[in-house]
A and B are shown apart, each in its own frame.
Chain A
Amino acid sequence: MYPMPVARWRPGSRLLYKLSLPCALLLWLLPLLAVLVTSIRSSDELSAGNYWGWPEHFSLVENYGTALTQTPMLHYFWNSIFITVPSVAVSIFLASMAGHALANYRFRGNLLLLAIFVAGNFVPVQILMIPVRQLTLALGLYNTVLGLVLFHTAFQTGFCTLFLRNFIRALPYELIEAARVEGASEWAVYTRIVLPLVRPALAALGILVFTFVWNDYFWALCLTQGDDAAPITVGVAALKGQWTTSWNLVSAGSVLAALPSVAMFFAMQKHFVTGLTFGATKG
């Protein structure tokens, strides 16, 4: 293990290390803590200038209640859900099929297709902006949740295909051969052999893509206008514009916007990290 495990340090240094951890953490999360504290601070205190001290009254219910009822935050929140969940589900499903095709079938152009998926992943999204916007307008999907879902699904399918292809490639090919020898159809090979084996990868990918899509701001700006289909990231930015002095409300909105991603991460940390670091240990 590197660095030297603390168990082998001198007791004094060990104690110092353990004491340093909470201090470093506090410093690191200071901006976040400030938001959390402000989100439960009352408006009176803010107008009295108490921005950073410990709040005298907690108005948690009041602030979040106002953010949810007086502003369209709840509406944005649901939009985000309706955008994110289908995008994640469909892109992972499509990518698992495409990844299976690229990993387990030999055909001409296989590597070329993979290269296109890889290249597509590194493309700066700005080069897609104008055509995707026009396409969405032409389909009559501008300013709809579906318009955003379609784009996110397509874009994330590329990323997921690359990821899943590599994962499926690492599975023992003999399993597929054996199933075929026993007469399984190609579809059965996919649903009964490949899918169950990639389930951990699907979970990892699902969480990762969830946070990508949930946190998106650029595409929401490009493909929506006004409140109808705007997700919560746009909502929070708008809230900041409209309620410039109500920092407690903006903070409450920010917390709401961040909550699902953060909760998802803490609930399924192991999967998340597996997904994220796939490729960091080999290749």
Chain B
Amino acid sequence: MSTTMSDKAVSVSRARRKAPAPLSRRRNRAALLFLLPGGLLFAIYVIYPVISSIVLSFYNWDGMTPRVFAGLDNYRELLHSDTFYTALKNNVIWLVLFLLAPPCGLALALYLNQSVRGIRLVKSLFFAPFVLPGVVVGLVFGWFYDPTFGLLKLIVGHGVPVLGDPRYVTYGIIFAALWPQIPFCMILYLTGLTGINSEVIEAARMEGAQGFKLLWHVILPQLRPATFMAVVLTVIGALRSFDLISVMSGGGPFDSSTVLAYFMYDQAIKYYREGYSAAIAVVLFMIMLIFIVWQLRRLVRSES
């Protein structure tokens, strides 16, 4: 205690001696210094690349020789590429099926929102898949699906080459991706459920509300923040899906399981088509922009 007092005394006297700059300017300078390191790094590694990618999408470039301006050629080519439409279609499938995660997570949360002995451990174990690296989830399920010895073969009775069949591959990967996503939504809902005022629930029960009606009219409205988070993060997760596709199918067979994120990576790394690849990234960015703007509007509204 005494040291802090003397420290403060020292800083007071130092401030007096130096005849400090006006308070507001000194504070602005402090704010700037606090922001500078983080902001700079963020600008270099996030802001600048976004702009740079957008610019690059109007060029042809192989990563080595000088880039050549190509106008809208990359986008035009994209619109005539079958793979692009496959990727887009798969992105939509991902988005739709991935949105099963919030309701499944809610169901799981309702199932586990009890106070019996050991429930904490049970909840944690249900949650465990979320902390696994995507690569490991991919390996585990790739193995589960294996048509010669996989567990799926044991269950179905005969081998189904899920990852080798263009008809099933995307669904197989999404199924694997839901495994970590569902407990993530579950944990959001469990936190939401603990936050609900129990008096409201008891009051509703007194009024005769029960079961599904109670859930729909009383509980769900109270869980809106959790639902919002779950949906937003699931949508983003769906559009970002890369790891599982890369590990499980490599976009194949015949590009049938590719999505924009993987298609873009493939073009840049395997075919050195940096400009074309940037154009794909920009399309993905535009789709995501809807959610970014939505999120920003919420932010501005809550701050003003």
- Residues on A lying within 8 angstroms of B by beta carbon are 1-3, 5-7, 17-18, 21, 24-25, 28-32, 34-35, 49, 51-52, 94-95, 97-98, 100-102, 105, 107, 111, 113-120, 122-132, 134-135, 150-151, 153-155, 157-158, 161, 182-188, 190, 192, 211, 214-215, 217-218, 221-222, 232-234, 236-237, 240, 247, 250, 254, 257-258, 261-262, 264-266, 269, 273, 276-277, 279-283
Residues in A whose Cβ lies below 8 Å from that of B2: none
Whether B264 sits at the interface, judged by CB under 8 Å, is yes
- Bound-state CA distance A119–B193 (Å) is 29
Complex Cα spacing A190 to B135, Å = 39
**Are B236 and A52 in contact (CB-based, < 8 A)?**
no
How far does the alpha carbon of A158 sit from the alpha carbon of B191 in the complex, in Å?
25
Say yes or no for B253: interface residue by CB 8 A criterion: no
Query: Given A29-B128, A52-B154, A215-B134, is A124 in contact with B225 using a C-beta cutoff of 8 Å?
Result: no
Which residues in B have some Cβ–Cβ distance to A below 8 Å?
Answer: 4, 7-9, 11-12, 15, 26-28, 30-32, 34-35, 37-39, 41-42, 44-50, 52-54, 56, 63, 110-111, 113-116, 119, 122, 124-129, 131-136, 139-141, 143-144, 149, 151, 154, 179, 184, 187-188, 191-193, 195-196, 198, 201, 214-215, 218-219, 225-226, 229-230, 236, 239-240, 242-243, 246-247, 260-261, 264-265, 268-269, 274, 277-278, 280-282, 284-285, 288, 291-292, 295-296, 298-300, 302-303
Query: Given known contacts A29-B125, A105-B28, A262-B128, is B53 in contact with A130 (CB within 8 Å)?
Result: yes
Q: Are A280 and B192 in contact (CB under 8 A)?
A: yes
Of the A-B pairs whose beta carbons lie under 8 Å apart in the complex, a sample of 21, sorted by A's number, is: A1-B198, A3-B110, A3-B113, A28-B126, A31-B151, A101-B31, A118-B295, A118-B299, A125-B240, A126-B260, A128-B50, A131-B56, A158-B46, A161-B42, A183-B11, A185-B15, A218-B246, A232-B133, A265-B127, A280-B191, A281-B192
Are A257 and B135 in contact, with the CB atoms below 8 A? yes
* Chain A nearest Cβ from B114, distance in angstroms: 5
> How far in angstroms is the closest Cβ of chain A from B105?
11
Asked if B124 and A124 make an inter-chain contact with CB atoms under 8 angstroms apart, the answer reads no
Structural contact, A261 and B132, CB atoms closer than 8 A: yes
Which of A24, A115, A125, A183 lies in contact with B296, CB distance below 8 A? A115
Bound Cα distance from A273 to B186, whole angstroms: 11
- A257:B133 contact, CB within 8 angstroms: yes
Q: Which residues of B contact A232 (CB under 8 A)?
A: 133
Are A132 and B49 in contact, with the CB atoms below 8 A?
A: yes
The CA-CA distance from A217 to B261 in the complex, in Å, is: 13
The residue on A at minimum CB distance from B218 is A2
Would A188 and B151 be within 8 Å (CB), given that A100-B34, A247-B143 are in contact? no
Contact indicator B49/A97 (Cβ below 8 Å): no
- Interfacial chain A residues near B12, Cβ < 8 Å: 182-183
Known: A155-B46, A186-B30, A280-B225. A130 touches B140 (CB 8 A): no
Residues of B within 8 A of A188 (CB): 7, 11
* Inter-chain contact A126/B41, CB cutoff 8 Å: no
Question: Which chain B residue lies CB-closest to A282?
Answer: B225
- Specify which chain A residues have a CB less than 8 angstroms from the CB of B296 in the assembled complex: 115, 118-119
B45 with A151: CB separation less than 8 A: yes
Residues of B within 8 Å of A279, CB to CB, are: 225, 229
Determine if B265 and A233 form an interchain contact, defined as CB atoms under 8 angstroms apart.
Answer: no
* A6 near B114: Cβ-Cβ < 8 Å: yes
